[in-house]
Every structure is written in structure tokens, then in C-alpha cells.
Amino acid sequence: MSPGSYSTILGDCTLCPRQCHANRMEGQGVCGGGVKARMALVSLHPWEEPVIAGAQGAGTVFFSGCNLGCIYCQNHEISHGYKGIDVTDERLGEIFCEQQLRGAATLDLVTPTHYVPQIINGLFFAKKKGFSLPVVYNSSGYENISTLDLLDNMVDVFLPDLKYYSAELAGAYSKAPDYFQVASRAIKRMVQLTGAAVERDGILQRGVLVRHMVLPGARKDSMQLLAWLWEEFGDSIMVSIMNQYTPAYRAVTHPRLKRRLTTFEYDSVVDYALDLGFTRCFIQEAGTAREGYIPKWTGQGVAKAYT
């Protein structure tokens, strides 16, 4: 995909379900994205799921901006505040190659939806230089099918969130009451694009790993999501049930979200998943709900390589 061809996409942007039709060649969309990919951090991240991180860590590339509006976002400085550095597609490709040279297990593209054209170009440049890591598309799950189809044969692993079953929760917490309707269709398409999850030497090579973070007061919503996933996919996908919720951003004063998850809330959701039959299921230990796990948005590795 050449810059000339994707200017048509960015000039009237409908990459995500917001369908904002922004001219990103001259300004920003609802997501905060413009014509160049903006990034806040390049790192080796040890705290992703083991099949994504491996021994050395996942080669995370954190993009700025987001097409959701989650009031509890732990990365709000970059997702809502757009903190970051703009890079060319060529530099993006260099960054991908640098992550491979550092020994990353995978290339982990975090919040990539609004930069799909730039990422495709970056991968094109990287592959000409020998890039070969599994490419992980780490997103909110709020995706257009047409955008996912652009990634066919470009992305190896989809790592979507599945946040809400309830339209009420999705509207109140992420300004997206249609979230489950959109995300469920998107995850079905992701599975069609990659097939069943396949590992080699403990690293996911192809497939879908669905993440769900249990929220305070919403364990029954979590159970509805897990029941849907099991009914649709069984053990052909992987699932990660996360207990790392920490009140952040606007959630610190929200009546339902200003507290952390209880042990009962998390354990009851995990027990439900196991009772359904999930065996390819990642479970987090206690103590992961800490601000210390949130990256520092230093811009490391964006403008130039770090050592």
C-alpha cells in the first residue's frame, strides 16, 4: 500500500466503527490520528501473556490515540492525550526490524487500528530487510471488518479485547453502546483470517487470543462474554482473563469504578470459564493490579533506536 493509495483512505477516514470521515491528511480523526503514525514507546515488554512475550519479552510498539473513549484507561496519557512522536512509514519499518534484533518473541502492535495503512507500509519496508517475527495486532476489539481484511496475510496473531456484553456498560464506560455487536463480528472475522491458534516453541504463531479484563461490579457481564466465546469457538482460540483493573483517569471518582476488583469477583469469573471447558486460558495472579505495571511514556525507541 503506497502513501498515494492510502491518502484516499485517510482523506475520508472510515477505518474504525466511529466512521468520522475526517480528512486526516490535514487534521486528526476522532481517534487523534493524523497522516503519520504517532508512537509513545518502543519496548521489550515482559508482562504480556507467555505465548506473546516469550523469554525476552514482546516487541511492543505503543501507538498514540484510540478509537474508544474508556473512562478507566490506564494509558490515557497517550490514548486520550495523544502524547507521542510522529514517524514516517520507513522509520516504522526500521522499528519493527530493531525489535527483531533485540530478540523480541513477537512484534506487538498496541492500539493499532487507526494506523493500519501506515503499519502495512511499515511491514512492507521491514520485510524487505528480513523481518520475520509473528505480527500481533493488539486492539480494543472495536474494529471494522473492511479494515481487518486489509491485514490478511500481514498479521499472524490477533489479540483483541472483548470488553462488554452489555450495551449499557459499553456506552457508559467507552462511549460505544454498539461495542459487543461490533466486536463479536470482528472477532469472528479474526478467527476466519488466522484459523485455530497454533504455537511453536511456546510462542503463538497464528490464531486469536481474546483478552477480557474483569471490571468491578460486572462479573455477570464477564460470564456472558465467556459463554458467547465458548459457544462460538470452544478451545480453537485462547482466552486471557485479566484481574489488573486499577482505577485510573476518570474512573477514580466514578461510583462503580473507583475501587479495585475483589478476589471473589475475579475467582468466580475464572471458575465459570473453567466450568465451561476452556483449557487454553491464561489467568493472572494476585498483585497485578498495580500502577507499577503501567509503562512510562518516554518516547524510547521511537525517533532512534535504543540499546
pLDDT score recorded for residue 8: 86
Burial of 25 (0-12, 13-18, 19+ CB in 10 A): middle
Residue 247 domain-assigned? yes
CATH number reported for the structural domain that contains residue 53 in this entry: 3.20.20.70
The answer to whether residue 287 scores a pLDDT higher than 70 is no
Q: How many independent structural domains does the chain possess?
A: 1
- Domain that includes residue 177, residue range: 32-293
The answer to whether residue 257 scores a pLDDT higher than 90 is yes
H runs (alpha helix) in 84-209: 89-101, 116-128, 145-150, 167-174, 179-194
CB 142 within 8 A of CB 16: yes
Residue 61 domain-assigned? yes
Consecutive H or E run containing 204: strand 203-213
Q: What is the percentage of the chain residues whose pLDDT exceeds 90?
A: 94
Write down the pTM of the prediction: 0.96
pLDDT tens for each residue of 210-243: 999 999 999 999 999 999 999 999 999 999 999 9
Across all residues in the chain, what is the average pLDDT?
Answer: 95
Residue 300 domain-assigned? no
pLDDT score recorded for residue 5: 67
Query: What's the whole-number mean pLDDT along residues 248-262?
Result: 97
Query: What's the whole-number mean pLDDT along residues 50-68?
Result: 97
Residue 245 domain-assigned? yes
- Provide the pLDDT confidence category of residue 140 given band limits of 50, 70 and 90: very high
Planar angle of CA 32, 34, 36, nearest 5 degrees: 125
- Provide the pLDDT confidence category of residue 1 given band limits of 50, 70 and 90: low
pLDDT score recorded for residue 291: 67
Give CA–CA dist 161/242, Å, rounded.
Answer: 10
pLDDT tens for each residue of 79-130: 999 999 999 999 999 999 999 999 999 999 999 999 999 999 999 999 999 9
Q: What is the 8-class DSSP label of residue 112?
A: -
> Among 56-70, 94-108, 282-296, whose mean pLDDT is lowest?
282-296
Query: What's the whole-number mean pLDDT along residues 40-55?
Result: 97
Residue 304 domain-assigned? no
Residue 259 domain-assigned? yes
Query: What's the whole-number mean pLDDT along residues 138-145?
Result: 98
Q: Considering only the C-alpha atoms of the chain, give the largest distance between any 2 of them, rounded to a whole number of Å.
A: 54
pLDDT score recorded for residue 123: 97
The CA distances from residue 139 to 50, 67, 98, 158, 263, in Å, are: 18, 10, 22, 8, 27
- Provide the pLDDT confidence category of residue 286 given band limits of 50, 70 and 90: confident
Residue 25 domain-assigned? no
DSSP H helix total and E strand total for the chain: 10, 10
Residue 19 domain-assigned? no
